[in-house]
Structure 1
């Protein structure tokens, strides 16, 4: 005893479209729910879902008249949609082909002076060595940056500002300088 395999969603969509194309008629949902299971083997529970997917993809037209929803699809519209899609894809293909040719031409232009010669290999190696040397020199400059006269002067200015701020906080308004006489040192 073998189990009967159900239809895939795409097969249900195709069979639903066959209903519209064969009859070339306008249907209500209740009509399709009666016809689809009998003639095309689409389960009653999935008729509405399949129909809605066809409406969403603009393969089936629908309109509300009064309190009823009507659905229809004619073969001429499907042919027209396919022809439009074919034209669109054809124009996209031609644009992509033109871009590809343009890119290939640009690649050829760029590669004109880039043949792998001995001179080019030597220059490339020299360039790499110079880049490494540049990185080493930058590291060395950063190491000695604290001895830079501009940096030293900036530190002096910051120290002066800090000393003035400390004097303001402690209430000292005058600079006190201590001088030692030689007598004090000998005692």
Structure 2
């Protein structure tokens, strides 16, 4: 024999609301904890959580008096709540219809001038051709960047810096050779051969 299925949360909430609607009375938590399991089959352990969920959703009113909390819910309030919720949903639906109509109108407006006519197709083809030509011209222009005066000047500055650096190192080599010649009496030929210095090694003009 299969085990009896327990009540879902929504079923418990519905049955607990029945307690308030049928009695039209005000209860403390301890009262609900006694009534709910006996009359509505709600498990004692879940009574407090179910009641709190109804309070959180404004379906059950709650007020603290002294050290005790009192709970109540009348059918009239539930009716007003449903009507208010229905009005909110109806307003949202109307707003959704309005936005949909506005979007549809915008789509129709955007379609104007975009019909697939022969002229439009020709213009699109021409536009694509112009875009390709622009890419080709940009690539061709890059080839002639070396003739750009700014680029030429940049190359000249780079060459000057490289020349100055090379001559500075050449000066250092000559200084070291002179020091070695004075210190150890080495001849220039011997130094050049030992360190692989070419015979025509000199400053860059």
Cα offset, 1:143, TM superposition: 5.0
Distance 1:32 1:143 in 2: 89
Question: Quick check: 2:24–2:73 contact (8 Å CA) kept in 1?
Answer: yes
1:8 matched to which residue of 2? 8
Equivalent position of 2:185 in the other structure: none
Q: 1:139 to 1:69 in 2, by over 3 A?
A: farther
Relative contact order (alpha carbons < 8 A, sep ≥ 6): 1 or 2 greater? 1
| In 1, Cα distance between equivalents of 2:161 and 2:25 | 93
Rounded to whole Å, the distance in 1 between the matches of 2:118 and 2:93 is: 42
Q: What SS does the aligned partner of 1:25 have? A: coil
Q: Secondary structure at the match of 2:130?
A: helix
TM-fit CA distance, 1:161: 7.7
Q: CA deviation at 1:99?
A: 2.0
> What secondary structure, in the 3-state scheme, does the structure 1 residue paired with 2:112 have?
helix
In the TM superposition, 1:44-123 aligns within 5 A as: 44-123=44-123
CA RMSD of aligned residues (A): 2.9
* C-alpha distance in 2 between matches for 1:161 and 1:79: 90
Q: Are the aligned partners of 2:163 and 2:204 in contact in 1 as well (CA < 8 Å)? A: no
Supply the distance in 1 between the matched residues of 2:76 and 2:125 (Cα, whole angstroms).
Answer: 68
The match for 1:130 is: 130
TM-score normalised by the chain length of structure 1 = 0.77
**Greater Rg over alpha carbons, structure:** 2
The answer on 1:42 being equivalent to 2:49 is no
Structure-2 separation of matches of 1:142 and 1:75: 82
In structure 2, stretches of 5+ residues that fail to align are: 172-202
Q: CA deviation at 1:34?
A: 0.6
Offset of 1:151 from its aligned partner? 2.9
SS in 2 for 1:62: strand
Distance 1:156 1:87, change over 3 A: farther
CA-to-aligned-CA distance 1:102-121 (integer Å, 9 cap, x gap) = 22222222222221112211
| TM-score, scaled relative to structure 2 | 0.71
Greater mean deviation of Cα atoms: 38-47 or 53-62? 53-62
Deviation at 1:155, TM superposition (A): 4.9
Per-residue deviation, residues 75-126 of structure 1 (Å, max 9, x unmatched): 1111111111122222222222222222222222222222111221121122
Deviation at 1:163, TM superposition (A): 8.4
Determine if contact 2:26/2:70 at 8 Å carries over to the other structure.
yes
Aligned length: 173
